[in-house]
Amino acid sequence: MSGRTYDAKVSLCFDASDAADNKADLYSLGVIFFEMNFTPMMGQERAQTINGLRSPAIVFPSSWPTQREKQELLITWLLAHNPSSRPGADTVLASPLMPVELKTPAEHSRAIASECILES
């Protein structure tokens, strides 16, 4: 297994038979999304915090910002220890927990092109 130990798929750590599930990578996404929404940590503090997230109760640090309720719900959903309880990518994207309205690739390209024209 390559990559960082802390964002390793929980299915690989607990039950190798679940490793083929296409939702397994969403666990790693949950850890990464947590790190994007929390104060940067190093060493032992990071290890303890990530271990709390990996615990059966999925324990967030006491210093987790209370105004990030949607992020906490999304992270908890992504970190479900049972892969069959984790959402699929399409479900996450359609979820009201997502912070922005998503566009099709063509709409996104047009929006970027129009922004470039406006900046010129």
pLDDT tens digits, 77-106 = 999 998 889 998 889 988 898 866 656 778
Please report whether residue 3 resides in a domain.
no
Looking at the predicted structure, is the pLDDT value of residue 111 above 90?
no
Specify if 2 maps to a domain: no
Asked if 11 contacts 19 with a C-beta cutoff of 8 angstroms, the reply is: yes
Sign for the CA dihedral angle at 44, 50, 53, 56 comes to negative
Model pLDDT, residue 114: 73
**CB distance 66 to 58 below 8 Å:** no
Query: How does DSSP classify residue 98?
Result: S
Is residue 40 a part of any domain in this protein?
Answer: yes
**pLDDT tens figures, 34-90:** 999 999 889 999 999 999 999 999 999 999 998 999 999 999 999 999 888 999 888
Q: Is residue 87 part of a domain?
A: yes
- What's the CATH code of the domain at 107? 1.10.510.10
Q: What mean pLDDT comes out for the span 111-118?
A: 69
Structurally, how many domains does the chain consist of? Answer: 1
* Alpha-carbon gap, residue 51 to 115, rounded angstroms: 43
Asked if 54 and 10 touch (Cβ cutoff 8 Å), the reply is yes
How much is the pLDDT for 11?
45
